[in-house]
Structure 1
Amino acid sequence: MTTAERQPRPVRAEPGELVEVSFTVNGTETTLRLPARVTLSDALRDHLGLTGTHVGCEHGVCGMCTVLVDGEAARACLLFAIQLDGAEITTVEGLGKPGDLHPLQRSFGRNHALQCGFCTPGFLMSSYDLLAAKPEVAAEELPAELSGVICRCTGYRNIVTAVRETQEEFPEGIPAPGNCGRRALAGRSAGQAAGALPEAEEEPVATEIVLPDGAPTVAVRIATGIAVEDSRVWTVFDDIQLLARCLPGAELTGELGDNLYSGRARVSVGPVKLAFNGVAKILEHDREAGRMRVLAQGQDTGGAQTQADIELRTEASGDGTVLHADAKVYLTGRIAQFGRALAGDISRRMFEQFAGAVAEAAQSGRAPEGPVKAPSAVKLMFGTLLDRIRLAFRRR
């Protein structure tokens, strides 16, 4: 049944009354109880945590909210969720996996087919629908065929190139979405209010850490001085439990053996709130050389994923220590919506906070009082702004 043929169930709902609707999202069946006025885009974003579906004009014009409903492109902002009982819905999160992107996603990345990224999910889903329905579309027709998504930033020509390249790679038809399976959707449980956490059993955390190919999303190199002797800093680095307590927003939850540890971390920047479950593996811990190397990865219930290769080094400096950190960070999902510059600034602020917590723990011999909280959005924003103002004045 196509979207056009689908008829809403005969429902009369009183103001404030919740209506039950069941559909399949990215291969996972789910049931929600929602007010009748809730749109599909709001149901996906606010009740299922699938924020890859962006909302722009909310009039069905801009195309940012494009998803697949029963295999056809549809504007999620123009559909009420309760219209779609029994439907199969595919969002951009279902297109490919973080470690195994869909060919269309790979082509967009390879051709730099994005700028701020806000239009990217809409273009991806619209492009997929086009190549699935018209695999033989002529190259000269692509700009018109893709005009349903109206963003026209400087990456637009690259978007057309990426779609054409994918078409040439798969002349017989584009591969199906690759991340549509059980629990591929993000997780607020059915019927709960937005912001509630899922009651479903947690997925097992993958323990194999494999970094993506290619350049990292963010590369950070930082050095900060702390007024603690090098040997006392390493008393913290030698105690993994104590070291973990110094990481902003992080908590160690288990030792898995072979220098592998499980943990969780919370990140909150403005309206974006993420809770990662993941693992970290210590590849090198050399007190004599003053060097420690760690691989880490984590995944949020909304599909955001972060992976990192972190090297920590200590250098004696008078009565204190210079703590160096080199990190290569790979981001996918919601967290990747931050620009590279902002993500780098956030990483630097968090490292400075980590260094301060290490200094406190080295001096006192115990963990900082209470969990080390990640810096607030306001502090990050104003701290970053002040740093850039100072840099501008130095250049004069």
Structure 2
Amino acid sequence: MSRSATLRRTLKNPLKGLRNGRGSAGEETLRVEAEETVRVSFTVNGRPAEVDVAPRVTLSDALRDHLSLTGTHIGCEHGVCGMCTVIVDGDAARACLLLACQLEGAEIMTVEGLGTPDDLHPLQDSFSRHHALQCGFCTPGMLMSAYELLDHEPGVPKEELPEKMSGVLCRCTGYRHIMDAVSDVAEQHPEGAPAPRNCGTAQLLPRTTAGGPGSTAEEDLQHRAPAEITLPSSEPTVTVGVEEHIRATPEEIWEVLQDTDRVARCLPGAELIEDFGEDRYLGRIRVALGPVKLSFIGDIHVTERSEENRSIRALAQAEDAAGGSVQAGVALSAQPHEGGSLLSADADLFMVGKIAQMGRSLAGDVSADMFAQFTRALDATARGEEPTDTQAPSSVAMFTRLMSTRAKALVGRLRRR
């Protein structure tokens, strides 16, 4: 059954949205599949902005990952700590609790809109003068909460500030200095919060610009040239190395390795979408583990094919609609071994976003499990059989295999003691 969400897009009402059923008169209702994106237009710090996001993407992720406005910090992601506080249509709001697709037509201000290093907002200047910064993690939330408070309640008494600003949960040694800084601005500006200094000039850097209501990233990527892929020089997030003895001979494996489409069909959850020519392709791969369900679309470039060594090398980079990304360098080779082949698969993976948040150990296990499935499917394909596990990986089956593998490794370590 296809997972989807019905989006009710309204103006000036970010708390509506994601309802089932038909929209009322005058409202536009869209149905968007889970791996599709919807284009949302709003104003951020006085500038028009557009993002193409999956229905599940929060405002905080859209600001940070799609518009590069990283001043909005993410803490608990449950709407409790207040670190992600921004101003939406004049009121303070938790960016982690709002879906970006709910905010069509909204006016949003982030901490970047308050001021610049050369032209600080009075609140920012007061925080500096009163040494109210400390580690700085709560500072954006405190600043935005204070701005909204002074805008709505000019001249608020100092003794009421702890209660009025209690929505941002930081009580470090700088807390009293924060209260002093806000009180100072309230006394100096009894008419209300001074106007922001950086609205209308803040530079937005969208990470994705393709798509539209109801469109998919796939449709847009098909209409552009293949991208050049350069791997980061930093240490990979995960390094995977898999060796398996399979029944197919190196010659049989090489016949499959020459056909990129057949290779892709052996990788669970993967498919080729477009052949750009010169061994450059557009592809998609789906990954699912528990509640984490991602669909990555991006470029593949086969950089080397060696018939002598029965090997290929490839580079890949892809993005998920939620703003995550993966880059990879992959090498496959098949060597004679006991009447069959020893198939080696090595990969350096560079991950950003939710997939990287699984942690190196789990991400490595998931990647190794998928490569192990790939080798089995490649073996079957090379011998003329139909692969049995090339669909998107089942989270339950993968979890069972991972737990079994870890249990066996633990037993092995105990026996060696």
| CA separation of 1:281 and 1:176: change in aligned 2, threshold 3 A | same
Q: Distance in 1 between matches of 2:351 and 2:90?
A: 28
Indicate if the aligned counterparts of 2:295 and 2:320 stay in contact, CA closer than 8 A. Answer: yes
Query: Which residue pairs with 2:406 in the alignment?
Result: 388
Question: Alpha-carbon deviations, 1:93-150, whole Å to 9, x = none?
Answer: xxxxxxxxxxxxxxxxxxxxxxxxxxxxxxxx79x99977537837964326534678
Q: Which runs of 5+ in 2 are unaligned?
A: 1-11, 29-39, 142-167, 171-197
| CA separation of 1:362 and 1:62: change in aligned 2, threshold 3 A | same
Identity level (%): 34
Matched letter for residue 393 of structure 2: P
Matches within 5 A, 1:34-73: 56=76, 58-59=78-79, 61-63=80-82, 65-67=84-86, 69=88
Question: Alpha-carbon deviations, 1:178-226, whole Å to 9, x = none?
Answer: 5237738xx783xxxxxx7659962446521121221111111121111
Q: Distance in 2 between matches of 1:31 and 1:325?
A: 34
SS in 2 for 1:142: coil
Question: Alpha-carbon deviations, 1:363-392, whole Å to 9, x = none?
Answer: 11x7637x8113211122222222222212
Q: Distance in 2 between matches of 1:253 and 1:379?
A: 27
Corresponding position: 1:375 with 2:393: yes
Corresponding position: 1:327 with 2:347: yes
Corresponding position: 1:143 with 2:134: yes
SS in 2 for 1:276: strand
Larger radius of gyration: 2
Instruction: Give, in angstroms, the shift of residue 311 of structure 1.
Output: 1.1
SS in 1 for 2:382: helix
Higher mean C-alpha deviation, range 299-308 or range 342-351: 299-308
Q: Distance in 1 between matches of 2:263 and 2:232?
A: 26
Indicate if the aligned counterparts of 1:244 and 1:251 stay in contact, CA closer than 8 A. Answer: yes
Give the TM-score of the pair, scaled to structure 1: 0.63
Matched letter for residue 62 of structure 1: C
Indicate if the aligned counterparts of 1:130 and 1:145 stay in contact, CA closer than 8 A. Answer: no
| CA separation of 1:27 and 1:278: change in aligned 2, threshold 3 A | farther
Higher mean C-alpha deviation, range 251-260 or range 197-206: 197-206
Instruction: Give, in angstroms, the shift of residue 271 of structure 1.
Output: 2.1
Q: Distance in 2 between matches of 1:22 and 1:151?
A: 31
Query: Which residue pairs with 2:229 in the alignment?
Result: 209
Query: Which residue pairs with 2:192 in the alignment?
Result: none
Query: Which residue pairs with 1:310 in the alignment?
Result: 330
| CA separation of 1:333 and 1:130: change in aligned 2, threshold 3 A | farther
Higher mean C-alpha deviation, range 281-290 or range 71-80: 71-80
Give the TM-score of the pair, scaled to structure 2: 0.60
SS in 1 for 2:303: strand
| CA separation of 1:78 and 1:293: change in aligned 2, threshold 3 A | closer
Matches within 5 A, 1:347-366: 347-364=367-384
Instruction: Give, in angstroms, the shift of residue 310 of structure 1.
Output: 0.6
Aligned length: 314
Q: Which runs of 5+ in 1 are unaligned?
A: 1-7, 35-39, 91-124, 153-172, 190-195
| CA separation of 1:354 and 1:199: change in aligned 2, threshold 3 A | closer
Question: Alpha-carbon deviations, 1:273-324, whole Å to 9, x = none?
Answer: 2222212111111121233211111122222211100111222111121111
Question: Alpha-carbon deviations, 1:307-342, whole Å to 9, x = none?
Answer: 100111222111121111111011112322221111
Corresponding position: 1:291 with 2:314: no
Instruction: Give, in angstroms, the shift of residue 261 of structure 1.
Output: 1.7
Q: Distance in 2 between matches of 1:12 and 1:265?
A: 32
Instruction: Give, in angstroms, the shift of residue 73 of structure 1.
Output: 7.9
Query: Which residue pairs with 1:28 in the alignment?
Result: 49
Instruction: Give, in angstroms, the shift of residue 65 of structure 1.
Output: 4.1
SS in 2 for 1:388: helix
Taking only aligned residues, the RMSD between alpha carbons, in angstroms, comes to: 4.8
Query: Which residue pairs with 1:242 in the alignment?
Result: 262
